[in-house]
Chain A
């Protein structure tokens, strides 16, 4: 018993020591990750192929935050499943690194002069993983399903009023009105993924949805619920590659655990980390940190129907009051970069830094505007007719990179000019409820799109009644401009129209712009052949280990 006790005592001491020393020790001592690697591989022999020679490593192990859900493309709603599905399914078109539509299952396409008819010429000789052929019948069947009541993307595809099969490999879509962003709907992950029709007809629906059969570079192999998903190379893929034999996903919910798994070789890639971890990773020569701009814009929405933002002067004042470029730099760099527009900087619609009219940081000017709006300082805060200039800042926590932290700094800077505010941090589900019902004065909100077309942002966020226009923005002139930009097919003309639109958006002062959130990937330094771009990040076909 005495021995047990002394062991216990030593353990306790150890716990206490490590607890005090851990965070400070880590950056100075990145080496311990190394010796741990072979040890871990040995233990994993039942799970993963043991490869003595690192040159021969052909499995790519990725950490997932949550388990996959199900693979009926028209019902996939979560990013995790979407990322896994991306390896197995393909779309008619995919994207070039700069976000433009390029051929995938369709080798080419034509748009009629009136912009209403889109004819796709399908790639011939493509087979699904079950050996069934890919042809126009499958395409028609898929998009009909995507428009049906079973679909989560009914509205997205409602623009297609007719589909006509010209021959086995030619199909024409007729739209209800010209829509330059139509390819973005077709390319959209999930709803645009085309599964095997033959399998759908011969299998039970539940099995079909859990054993995805597509045309992509990797094929479904195994799923251990809550633990791992394994995909194997599709040897018959029409494209070049893949070089990997396997893509394995491991479900590891906890961010800290993911980091330890990466550093001990349990996984090859993680896609999120804290600012502190990133700094440490960057100092580690064995790891590569890749940060890629994405079509993810972040801003505070100012509800123009609520006090005090019904007054444009106050909307301007809160912008002058906040030094957002510095906040973002200090709190969320390098993942979030400040942007002065609603449109993502990585997309073609953004005119470049310094072009758009933008408000800077000038607390005095903020005070002037507030006083101009009839408020006067009483004690530490402004008041008008006995009502204090008080703002509740809605903010989710850990939904967007450093969301809550940014909100807290904003609160602080508001206080410095005499605006009282509090940050209402909410659980995601409850947050969505209130935001969707426009029950907020000011809220932190992001808008993620897989495509760069400006309409994906503008039409949803600032067009009157847009589906993401929770802050009740409305400007008839802007609406008209946006509609014109969507009908226009010439990309250069569209670019000009969207620049004009961004001028109008900024002049309305409907937001406090925060910036664009990037995607991050951290993996061993010996990974080659993979260059994630904002438009297409999950393409592992050329990836290999050196």
Chain B
């Protein structure tokens, strides 16, 4: 297993280099001149030229790429065009906030989603099944922007139970928890819905297997059949999904963060893109790509825990 993990890590290197080239080209080829945006439409042309020179934007593109990649391997992503601060410093300050939000969202959505999925999978085509799958469909389709504002309207504006936006000073305080509720629900509903649908279909498939019939005919309780025999086998695709969803949540928290003024990486990316802050966008996207790779590796390794038949050789 150690060997397998190492091989996976080594494999990840070309992926990340590929991503770095792609990101670099994407941000540099997108129309929009960072110096011009920085200086604004009212600026003097001479001042814009001076800013371009200072930011090193006049160098040939391969020189710029080399400068970027040679320092990136030392985890130095340069200085933000906008703030002049080292990009890594800003990201490190914000990343824990995004991580916190994503972890809370994934935790509740997995518990809730898998629960509903099992419930619906055990009684297919019942009213409960249709209702919960209908709800899941709404959860998947409703855009987070809309969900977020709706929650805010109900719980902050109409009921006044929760503060509308912002993050508390600490997660482990009443204020921190209250401020976490709405963003976590907004971010997690999509995932919960996907989880529910995936668990349901996976359960349906497993429940039709011969070994389930065997388990039932052995006289095992239904509870035992569903949770020990069926669910465990049904979980493999669900775990894969959790991995993918965690990546999606980390990268896709952008809108939720924007709506709830959550100081995460998402707002950095948005501001970075709007300002063509190349170093910031490159570093954030690379970070998100790295998370995807790491999470996928963890998912691969988890398989063997759920299903002992899976071996890595």
Q: Which residues of A contact B (CB under 8 A)?
A: 1-2, 4-5, 8-9, 12, 14-15, 18-19, 22, 32-33, 35-37, 39-40, 43-47, 66-67, 69-70, 72, 75, 77-78, 149-156, 206, 209-210, 224-228, 250-254, 256-257, 260-261, 263-264, 266, 427-430, 432-436, 445-449, 460, 467-468
Contacts and interface: CB of A to CB of B under 8 A. Distances in A.
A260 B94 contact: no
A430 B32 CA distance: 4
Contacts, number: 201
A467 to B, nearest CB: 5
A253 B263 contact: no
Contacts of A446: 41
A210 B259 CA distance: 27
Given A70-B85, A448-B42, A44 B163 contact: yes
B297 to A, nearest CB: 30
Contact of B164 (A75, A257, A430): A257
Given A18-B150, A154-B46, A254-B258, A263 B39 contact: no
B59 interface: no
B40 interface: yes
B260 interface: yes
Contact of A22 (B46, B84, B153, B268): B153
B14 interface: no
Contacts of A67: 267, 271
A152 B47 contact: yes
Contacts of B46: 154-155
Interface in B234-275: 258-261, 263-264, 267-268, 270-271, 274-275
B94 A225 contact: yes
Nearest to A9: B131
Given A1-B119, A467-B44, A47 B169 contact: yes
Contacts of B305: none
Given A46-B168, A70-B85, A467-B45, A264 B157 contact: yes
A64 B312 CA distance: 52
A257 B259 contact: yes
Contact of B158 (A32, A435, A445): A32
A154 to B, nearest CB: 6
For A40, A429, A448, which residue has the most chain B Cβ atoms within 10 angstroms? A429
A206 B169 contact: no
Contacts of B162: 43
B165 A261 contact: yes
B97 to A, nearest CB: 8
A14 B154 contact: yes
A503 to B, nearest CB: 25
Given A18-B150, A22-B153, A43-B178, A155 B44 contact: yes
Contact of B156 (A4, A260, A427, A434): A260
B90 to A, nearest CB: 7
A417 to B, nearest CB: 30
Given A227-B263, A432-B36, A468-B42, A40 B160 contact: yes
Chain B, interface size: which category? 35 or more
A156 B44 contact: yes
Contact of B157 (A154, A260, A448, A460): A260
Contacts of B32: 427-430, 432-433
A251 B163 CA distance: 14
B84 A206 contact: yes
A468 to B, nearest CB: 6
For B38, B43, B132, B159, which residue has the most chain A Cβ atoms within 10 angstroms? B43
A266 B164 contact: yes
Contacts of B258: 253-254
B124 interface: no
B82 interface: yes
Given A152-B51, A264-B160, A428 B274 contact: yes
Contact of B175 (A43, A250, A433, A448): A43
B306 interface: no
12 contacts: A1-B128, A8-B132, A40-B164, A66-B271, A153-B47, A206-B84, A429-B275, A430-B32, A432-B32, A433-B36, A435-B41, A467-B44
A260 B82 contact: no
A264 B160 CA distance: 7
A69 B274 CA distance: 14
B114 interface: no
Contacts of A467: 42-45
A257 B157 contact: no
A32 B157 contact: yes
Given A224-B263, A260-B153, A436-B41, 6 more contacts: A15-B150, A40-B163, A70-B84, A151-B47, A260-B165, A429-B274
